[in-house]
Amino acid sequence: MPFMNAFRAAAAAALLASGAALPAQAQESAAEFFSAPFQNLRNGLGLRPQQAALPRRVVQFTTQYAPGTIVVSTKERRLYYVMEDGKAIQYGVGVGRPGFQWSGSQAITRKAEWPSWTPPAQMLKRRPDLPRFMKGGPDNPLGARALYLGSSLYRIHGSNEPETIGEAVSSGCFRMTNEDVTDLYDRVRVGARVIVLR
C-alpha cells in the first residue's frame, strides 16, 4: 500500500514538526496509527525501527545475587536485571562470537548516552577498514546507551543492528536493542555488579 505508507509518512512528519502536546488518548491513537519506524523517531531512540526478537519481560529468577545486579547468560543469550522477591527483568542480548566469549565479574564504572566509539587497537588490527572514531548517534555501533564494564574493553550497549540480538556476533560486548538498553540504563547505577556466565 504505497499510498498509505506515503500518507503515514507525511502525517508523522507533520505531527513531529508541529511539536504539539497531544492528550494521552490522542497520543495512543496516533501511536497505533503510525508504523514502528515513526514510533522510534518520536521516542528519540533512533531513526531505524527496532523490534525485539526477544522481548523483555519480568520472570521468576531465584539467585544469590542482590537486587540491582546484572546477570548475563551467554548460553541463553539473555541478560537479567535482578529485582526483589525472586524476580528479574529478562532482556535478549547479542553475545560474543566463538573465541570472543568470556565469563567473570565486573562492575559498571561508567554510563553514557549516545556514546562515541573509538575501536580498540585489537579490533583495528583485525578490521583496518573501521573508522578510528565515530561520534555518538543512531548510526554508531554502540547505539543509544552504553554501560562500561570495569577497566575492560567490554560494554553492555545498544545497537543499530537489532536483528543481531540473540546471536553470537560481537567481539565480547553485549548488545541490546536501543529500547531495551535505555530501559536498563535508567534502572542501573554506577557501581552495580555484573556477572557474566558462559
129 is catalytic: no
DSSP 197: E
Q: Please classify residue 147 by burial: count the beta carbons closer than 10 Å to its beta carbon, then call 0-12 exposed, 13-18 middle and 19+ buried.
A: buried
Q: Which of 77, 145, 157, 175 is catalytic?
A: 157
Instruction: Say what the pLDDT of residue 17 is.
Output: 41
On the question of pLDDT at 2 being above 70, the answer is no
**DSSP line for 67-108:** TT-EEEETTTTEEEEE-STTEEEEEE-BEEPTTS---EEEEE
Selected residue with higher pLDDT from 132 and 154: 154
| 36-72 confidence digits (pLDDT tens) | 333 333 344 444 445 556 899 999 999 999 999 999 9
Active-site position among 82, 173, 184, 196: 173
The yes-or-no answer on residue 157 being catalytic is yes
Mind listing the pLDDT tens digit for each residue in 101-151? Answer: 999 999 999 999 999 988 778 888 888 888 777 898 988 999 999 999 999
Closest CA to 150 of 134, 173, 129: 173
